[in-house]
A and B are shown apart, each in its own frame.
Chain A
Amino acid sequence: MKFDKPAGANPTDRQQVIGKPADRIEGPLKTTGTAKYAYEFNEEVPNYAYGYIVGAAISKGRIAEIHQLKAKNSPGVLAIITAANAGPLQPGKFYADRMLAGPNVDHYHQAVAVVVAETFEQARAAASLLQVDYVKEKGSFDLEAEMDSAITPKPGEFGGPPQTIVGDFEGAFASAPLKLDQTYTVPDQSHAMMEPHAATARWEGDKLTCWCSIQQLNWGVRDLANILGIQKENIRLISHYIGGGFGGKGTVLSDIVAASLSARAVGRPVKVTLPRPLIFNNTTHRPKTIQRIRIGANPDGTITAISHESWSGNIRGGRTEAATASTRLLYAGANRMTHLRLAVLDLAEGNAMRAPGEAPGMMALEIAMDEMAEKLNIDPVEFRIKNDTQFDPEKPERPFSTRLLVQCLKTGAERFGWKHRNSAPGERRDGQWLIGVGVASAVRGAPITKSAARVRLDRNGIITVETDMTDIGTGSYTIIGQTAAEMMGVGLDRIVVKLGDSSFPESSGSGGQWGAASSTSGVYAACVKLRERVALAFGLNVSQAEFSSGQVRSGNQSFSLSDAAKKADLVGEDEMTYGELSKQYAQDTFGAHFVEVAVHAYTGEIRVRRMLAVAHAGRILNPKAARSQMIGAMTMGVGAALMEELVVDKKIGFFVNHDLAGYEVPVHADIPHQEVILMEDSDPTMSPMKAKGIGELGLVGVAAAVANAVYNATGVRVREYPITLDKYLSKMKRPI
């Protein structure tokens, strides 16, 4: 089915199942520990051995020699895989990193060898006996130092053009009566998902099956075929459940390659997981950005010039962090400019992390807006509202499909009690604490992509949905089930959802907040096919048939849905594809974040006291799941604001704090009551589902709202994330 005209009325508009806060259908499996993750298929894949990855001990250079004798003779050891015996390996398509070092080492903890043994303990013990001689080379690890060497990258598949110019930015900025020119930094960040990367691989002849934990199975098959030099048809990937990804498990990483190579070498299944301390330097992360923002405005608050430049670094062939994306379309302004630059760094690969580009970009832009509002002496909510636009500022002929940013800001301000804010910073006290509030807008693209599914009706009236979509903790199982239930006119209890198997029809996968809108649209298309089959079975005209309460009705005829499959199962399979609507309309999600913080007047400790988010993200398929996405993202935003930083040791060239003790993310005590308001919406330009993603929107802007609240509390502006007390303590007035 091709979607190329805005959607009209369709069965999903009934919203009898869709739009309801259904509990997760896989919830009981997770809470009872019976949902199986990639490392847990012990019964299904018996006779497995364990692989243990040895990470490079240097950051750049080459491997001179690997002394293997001691490790080989260690108890239980079955094989040692290195670049020397692994066979030729290519990089994948999405990640640029090489999954096995040798002879060159590209970054710290890049896999150097995999030791395979009967037990995990034996593999780990033997791995420690491997002695690797390296020849070190000088590397580049410091983005500040490499800024001058950074180039304008070529446009990539994601993230938009590296350079945009509208009007005369420099001229308009120079002549603007009020100006802001500031630089902000967002550090390297880690996804820090709960489930480590893990894979169990099994070969049967030249067929490879891999139980793994990745978000995009289609990319996974493509990339693994590329890396190993085998046919895509010979690969099956299974990812039923994923313990968090946040973009860090987009596709194939070293665990899957190590398991596949090891299983081939020892002729039996092998499982591999990345030990937590390896994940930070071995896999990918959100790369650091240095961002310069300039805003020029008239005294009435109209923005006349706005620019955003961002520098990031990566390994050779790696992507640019598109931190300027939001600035291209969030606010009006006749003269505008954005520019991305990319330097070569010898740290681990930078790549997608939840709301890539937009999250770090808005961490900067939304502080800049706060600073500008202060210069203009205009309320920061008002300032944002004043500069709203209903069309793409780079292409005035392209309207937003739906955009309720202003309503989000107003609704939020009202509910939060924004009018009680003291605009003079550093003046509200509660005992030893200073109190402040902050606001930020939120925006995140609403991409949608082709996605296929198969639905099968059996004689008991059970409908089974199969698609290779993944559920990374987001609620995919449930919203896909709700879609099928709504379309076929049955309750959610009649639906079985099977996900995460590359032998199923190819879906969008989970990433870029496109999964919910795309995968349910694929299920919609398959259900349209199944409805046709059912109507045919009853000799009805499908356009007149009504599917409801397990019945199919037309005129005064009524059939039980299950009777259509009395003789044989009925199957509908289709793929939803898209026309040009996303070119005609700017399709985005919007929101507003309001935060209250307390900052200890003596010690500088920060405690977030209240958080409110208002989100505008198309039709909400399941408000409970959507709220979970929002509050999880808001939590992540607090982490980004206050504590998350991969610290680069610029001498040695690695992320030093490479475990969860050193890389702090929020704990329960850091997170106060979180309120979420979901705006009514439905966007017919997206798909028949009229829905958009929400999983990344919730993160964008949060950190800046926290930063602005900290400023409001203390009067000290910090432009370098995370906002830790050492950055402002000495500038804070000491109470007596």
Chain B
Amino acid sequence: MKAFTYEQPHSPAEAAAAAMRVPGSKFIAGGTNLLDLMKLQIETPVHLIDIGKVGLNKIEPTSEGGLRIGALVSNTDLAADLGIRRDYGLLSRALLAGASGQLRNKATTAGNLLQRTRCPYFYDTNQPCNKRVPGSGCAAIGGYSRLLAVIGSSEHCIATYPGDMAVAMMALDAKIETINAKGKARSIPIAELYRLPGNTPHIETNLAKNELITAVTLPAPVGGVHIYHKVRDRASYAFALISVGLILQKDGTGRVAIGGVAAKPWRNVEAEIFLPEGAASTTKKLMAGANPTKENEFKLALVERTLQSVLKEGKSLYEIR
């Protein structure tokens, strides 16, 4: 770990301004991802701006009938919120499928969105990694890739975005609200937040440098049954091999987003047209253009089979109702 300085601003505007003032600084929220990366010297900020005291920790209704989730709302509080559980069950379930109780108490909404990949080579600073050191190469290609991306990857990086919460937010059409150093606000649809690696895998989102996430908004509830199925090598406390977030309406239409397959939660509205037909045709469209490695091509079959399972589960829930 490199030595760093630290400050704790008291408003979002101060925080954003501080980031502008000190080049090489980073925001720290729960710290559950950033501190691990700093200890391993994968992230080396010279200055930490602790946003724990800036507020932004409420869940409030929006005028459009949705919810506005403050960037600092903890994963635990968000998953337990009655409004979320009633109208956005997918989000609550995805959160509870992630990490552990202790981590979720600390982890925040914005921090969760921006958690970094779990590619094992990214974590070992002796190995080449274009994401960590641009231009150094990619040790995962031709190496151990079982957990890595099967779609949207490039010859420069095949890492996945590892999180669960964002998969649900992708299916829910969430929007990310930010302010920049000058205090200017903007709103970014989550589908435009994450970038595919291309030849710049170190640039993971379309946020500007020092842009502060202030909230995530959810549009008015869309109803339906909400299922999050996370498939992993052990029953809990592991990142997804793949995960499927499904919102299924009574008529068989719905939305689906997939985790663990790409550098972002994977969704394609055009594939969702096929949901009433079943998992096979939906997956075919959704995963078209996949470029898996030998070690991880099983994920394609797994996506289809898991989708088949959750569709069946969803339908049976309507039958029970």
Residue ranges of A at the interface with B (Cβ–Cβ < 8 Å): 57-58, 121, 124-125, 128, 277, 432, 600-605, 607, 642-643, 647, 649, 651-652, 656-659, 661-662, 664, 666-670, 722, 724-726, 729-730, 734
The residues of B that contact A669 with a CB separation of less than 8 Å are: 234-237
Which of B126, B231, B239 is close to A57, meaning CB atoms less than 8 Å apart?
Answer: B126
B234 touches A277 (CB 8 A): no
The residues of A that contact B235 with a CB separation of less than 8 Å are: 607, 667, 669-670
What is the 8 Å Cβ interface bit string for chain B, positions 136-176, against chain A (1 contact, 0 not)?
00010011101000000000000000000000000000000
Chain B residue at minimum C-beta to C-beta distance from A665:
B234
Chain A residue at minimum C-beta to C-beta distance from B297:
A726
Q: Which of B85-93, B218-226, B307-315 faces chain A?
A: B307-315
Given contacts A125-B3, A729-B302, whether A664 and B142 have CB atoms under 8 Å apart is no
Which of B118, B233, B295, B302 is close to A643, meaning CB atoms less than 8 Å apart?
Answer: B233
Least CB distance, A111 to chain B, in whole angstroms: 14
The residues of A that contact B123 with a CB separation of less than 8 Å are: 277, 659, 662
B1 touches A652 (CB 8 A): no
B2 within 8 A of A: yes
A730 touches B309 (CB 8 A): no
A730 touches B234 (CB 8 A): no
Identify 11 residue pairs between A and B in the complex whose beta-carbon atoms are under 8 Å apart, listed by A's number: A121-B3, A602-B308, A603-B306, A642-B233, A649-B144, A651-B143, A652-B143, A658-B124, A670-B236, A725-B298, A729-B305
Given contacts A649-B144, A725-B231, whether A277 and B40 have CB atoms under 8 Å apart is yes
Chain B residue at minimum C-beta to C-beta distance from A724:
B233
- Measured CA separation A124–B234 after assembly (Å): 33
Chain A residue at minimum C-beta to C-beta distance from B313:
A432
Chain A residue at minimum C-beta to C-beta distance from B146:
A726
Which of B120, B241, B298 is close to A662, meaning CB atoms less than 8 Å apart?
Answer: B120
Which of A124, A602, A657, A664 is close to B120, meaning CB atoms less than 8 Å apart?
Answer: A657
Least CB distance, A666 to chain B, in whole angstroms: 6
A647 touches B144 (CB 8 A): yes
The residues of A that contact B2 with a CB separation of less than 8 Å are: 125, 128
Which of B118, B144, B236 is close to A661, meaning CB atoms less than 8 Å apart?
Answer: B118
Which of A607, A657, A724 is close to B144, meaning CB atoms less than 8 Å apart?
Answer: A657
Chain A residue at minimum C-beta to C-beta distance from B126:
A57
Least CB distance, A724 to chain B, in whole angstroms: 6
B298 touches A729 (CB 8 A): yes
B305 touches A602 (CB 8 A): yes
B317 within 8 A of A: no
Given contacts A121-B1, A277-B40, A725-B298, whether A603 and B233 have CB atoms under 8 Å apart is no
Chain A residue at minimum C-beta to C-beta distance from B312:
A432
Least CB distance, B173 to chain A, in whole angstroms: 26
What is the 8 Å Cβ interface bit string for chain B, positions 103-139, against chain A (1 contact, 0 not)?
0000000000000001011011011000000000001
Interface of A is mostly: loop
Chain A residue at minimum C-beta to C-beta distance from B128:
A652
The 6 closest A-B pairs by CB, nearest first: A602-B309, A669-B235, A669-B236, A57-B126, A726-B298, A602-B305
Given contacts A651-B143, A658-B124, A725-B298, 13 further A-B contacts (CB under 8 A): A602-B308, A602-B312, A603-B229, A604-B305, A649-B144, A652-B127, A652-B139, A652-B143, A656-B143, A669-B236, A725-B231, A726-B302, A734-B308
Least CB distance, B99 to chain A, in whole angstroms: 11
Which of A128, A651, A664 is close to B234, meaning CB atoms less than 8 Å apart?
Answer: A664
A730 touches B298 (CB 8 A): yes
- Measured CA separation A493–B39 after assembly (Å): 46
The residues of A that contact B241 with a CB separation of less than 8 Å are: 725
The residues of A that contact B308 with a CB separation of less than 8 Å are: 602, 734
A725 touches B302 (CB 8 A): yes
The residues of A that contact B313 with a CB separation of less than 8 Å are: 432
The residues of B that contact A668 with a CB separation of less than 8 Å are: 236
- Measured CA separation A325–B112 after assembly (Å): 49
Which of B1, B143, B309 is close to A649, meaning CB atoms less than 8 Å apart?
Answer: B143
The residues of A that contact B22 with a CB separation of less than 8 Å are: none
- Measured CA separation A57–B124 after assembly (Å): 10
- Measured CA separation A230–B298 after assembly (Å): 56
- Those of B160-218 within 8 Å (CB) of chain A: none
Chain A residue at minimum C-beta to C-beta distance from B309:
A602
The residues of A that contact B238 with a CB separation of less than 8 Å are: 664
B41 within 8 A of A: yes
The residues of B that contact A124 with a CB separation of less than 8 Å are: 1
- Measured CA separation A652–B124 after assembly (Å): 12
- Measured CA separation A664–B1 after assembly (Å): 25
The residues of A that contact B82 with a CB separation of less than 8 Å are: none
The residues of B that contact A605 with a CB separation of less than 8 Å are: 231-232
Least CB distance, B69 to chain A, in whole angstroms: 27
Least CB distance, A4 to chain B, in whole angstroms: 49
B269 within 8 A of A: no
B301 within 8 A of A: yes
- Measured CA separation A722–B233 after assembly (Å): 10
Least CB distance, A460 to chain B, in whole angstroms: 45
- Measured CA separation A667–B233 after assembly (Å): 11
- Measured CA separation A652–B128 after assembly (Å): 11
Given contacts A277-B40, A730-B301, whether A603 and B236 have CB atoms under 8 Å apart is no
B233 touches A602 (CB 8 A): no
The residues of B that contact A664 with a CB separation of less than 8 Å are: 233-234, 238
- Measured CA separation A198–B118 after assembly (Å): 27
B3 touches A603 (CB 8 A): no
- Measured CA separation A57–B295 after assembly (Å): 25
Chain A residue at minimum C-beta to C-beta distance from B36:
A661
Chain B residue at minimum C-beta to C-beta distance from A660:
B237
The residues of B that contact A128 with a CB separation of less than 8 Å are: 2, 41
- Measured CA separation A734–B241 after assembly (Å): 19
The residues of A that contact B298 with a CB separation of less than 8 Å are: 725-726, 729-730
The residues of A that contact B144 with a CB separation of less than 8 Å are: 647, 649, 656-657
- Measured CA separation A658–B40 after assembly (Å): 13
- Measured CA separation A263–B283 after assembly (Å): 61
The residues of B that contact A658 with a CB separation of less than 8 Å are: 120, 124
Chain B residue at minimum C-beta to C-beta distance from A58:
B126
B301 touches A729 (CB 8 A): yes
The residues of B that contact A432 with a CB separation of less than 8 Å are: 309, 312-313
The residues of B that contact A603 with a CB separation of less than 8 Å are: 229, 231, 302, 305-306, 309
- Measured CA separation A667–B309 after assembly (Å): 25
The residues of A that contact B312 with a CB separation of less than 8 Å are: 432, 602
Least CB distance, A595 to chain B, in whole angstroms: 15
Interface centre among B118, B232, B301, B305 (most CB of A within 10 A): B305
Least CB distance, B3 to chain A, in whole angstroms: 7
Least CB distance, B261 to chain A, in whole angstroms: 14
- Measured CA separation A722–B234 after assembly (Å): 12
- Measured CA separation A730–B2 after assembly (Å): 47
- Those of B279-317 within 8 Å (CB) of chain A: 295, 298, 301-302, 305-306, 308-309, 312-313
Least CB distance, A334 to chain B, in whole angstroms: 43
Given contacts A277-B123, A602-B305, A602-B308, whether A666 and B1 have CB atoms under 8 Å apart is no
Which of A277, A602, A651 is close to B124, meaning CB atoms less than 8 Å apart?
Answer: A277
The residues of B that contact A643 with a CB separation of less than 8 Å are: 233-234
- Measured CA separation A558–B308 after assembly (Å): 80
Least CB distance, A129 to chain B, in whole angstroms: 10
Least CB distance, B212 to chain A, in whole angstroms: 28
The residues of A that contact B40 with a CB separation of less than 8 Å are: 277
A604 touches B139 (CB 8 A): no
A666 touches B234 (CB 8 A): yes
Chain A residue at minimum C-beta to C-beta distance from B118:
A661
- Measured CA separation A724–B295 after assembly (Å): 12
Least CB distance, A374 to chain B, in whole angstroms: 26
